[in-house]
Amino acid sequence: MSQIAAGTPVIITDAFGQEHQTRARSGVEKGHKFPVVWVERPLKNGDTDCAPWPLEAVRPDDELTRFASLARKLIQVPKAEIDAERAKERGVGS
């Protein structure tokens, strides 16, 4: 994994599992309970501020990580769809 430093393009994962592209404003720093990276956060008026983000939810945004992220999105199938298909295969609900 590449080093994260101020200015590094990064991908962050939010609490809902959504990924967002942004830029690191710091390297890895010691937080109160876990390591964090300060990242840019866009504001509605077009400005940006920064917020601490858990290191485990931050990774460098390079070609390899973008490809892996795209692959994960492409293979995600909603659980309900999988359950319905399995039920159909078993003949349940016919």
Give me the torsion for CA of 67, 24, 22, 53, rounded to 10°: 90
- For the chain, residues classed under CATH 2.30.30 are 1-60
How far from the centroid of its chain's Cα atoms is residue 35's Cα?
Answer: 16
E-assigned strand segments in the chain: 9-13, 19-30, 35-42, 48-54, 58-60
Q: For 29-87, how does the pLDDT look when each residue is reduced to its tens digit (9 = 90+)? A: 999 999 999 999 888 898 889 999 999 999 998 876 677 767 777 777 677 777 787 78
The pair phi, psi for residue 17, each rounded to 5°, is: 85, 5
Q: What is the pTM of this model?
A: 0.64
One CATH from 1.10.3470, 2.30.30, 3.30.70, 1.10.10 for 1-60: 2.30.30
Instruction: Give the pLDDT score at 2.
Output: 52
Joined tokens for residue 23: 């830029």
